[in-house]
Amino acid sequence: MESFAKRIKELRVAAGYSQEKLAEQLEIAVKSIQRYEKGYRPDTYTLVKMATFFNVSTDYLLGLISYEKLIKEHQKLLLGGEGYNHL
């Protein structure tokens, strides 16, 4: 299971953000980003902010689901998959 620190860094680098730029986008201190990439976990509010920013689930960030499962979940949402109520 991948660690939160590794996933945050991978997402940041893939998006082309420096630690400073990501901190600015999330409206948190650069030191916080550095800590998260070293293994510290954010509070719930920041975790949700990060997941929303990167368009991933909190489960993915925490290492509870794999990237492949995340892609499948996104595809279900886009295609009106099972388990979701649509108006």
> Which H or E element spans position 45?
helix 44-54
Q: What is the pTM of this model?
A: 0.73
Q: What pLDDT is recorded for position 64? A: 84
Q: What pLDDT is recorded for position 75? A: 76
In angstroms, the CA 79 to CA 73 distance is 10
Q: What pLDDT is recorded for position 86? A: 41
Q: What pLDDT is recorded for position 74? A: 67
Dump pLDDT digits (tens) for 21-42: 999 999 999 999 999 999 999 9
What parts of the chain have a pLDDT lower than 50?
1, 83-87
